[in-house]
Amino acid sequence: MGLRFDTLDVVEPEPVGDFYAAIGAGRGASRAGFSLAGVPAEPGDDAYGLTDRAMSALDADALLIDVEPCELAGVPAVRTLVLEQLGGLATVVLEQWRLVAAGERWVVTATADLAAWAQLAAGLRAVVATLEVEA
């Protein structure tokens, strides 16, 4: 099983480069970023089921703003957008894509402070769109 995505020079493993310059050092209460998590899938898993389970477990401070079926890495996926209030510290946007590919459940997450979201979302989505998963 292989996994590949292109950072497009938008995100970096360390907080340097254009992305860091875009968000500005020290601005915002949380660090904007991108993450990918995979665990072995179980029989019957699909993007809709994964999303339903995740959204039914949202905490009280989270608001589900949007849900959209889509395609990612060549398979059906579901995109969700959740606004999370982190205590009194920050309001953070979590845009996530859930999919099942190559025998794995995948959750792709792009996140940033709400105040920075309009500025950063397009770049983060462009990185997500490059995801490729091979068995």
Residues near other proteins (CB under 8 A) are 63-68, 81, 83, 85, 88, 90-91, 114-115, 117-118
Q: Which is nearer to other proteins, 9 or 68 (CB)?
A: 68
- Continuous H helices in the chain: 18-23, 47-56, 114-128
Q: Which is nearer to other proteins, 3 or 83 (CB)?
A: 83
CB of 26 to other proteins, least distance (A): 15
CB of 95 to other proteins, least distance (A): 9
CB of 87 to other proteins, least distance (A): 10
Tokens of 129: 């769109």
Query: SS3 breakdown of the chain: % helix, strand, coil, rounded to 5?
Result: 25, 45, 35
Closest by CA to 116, choosing from 32, 21, 16, is 32
Residue type, 31: R
Tokens of 83: 């606004």
Helix and strand tally (H, E) in the chain?
Answer: 3, 7
CB of 85 to other proteins, least distance (A): 5
CB of 72 to other proteins, least distance (A): 17
How many angstroms separate the CA atoms of 32 and 94, rounded? 10
Q: Which is nearer to other proteins, 102 or 121 (CB)?
A: 121
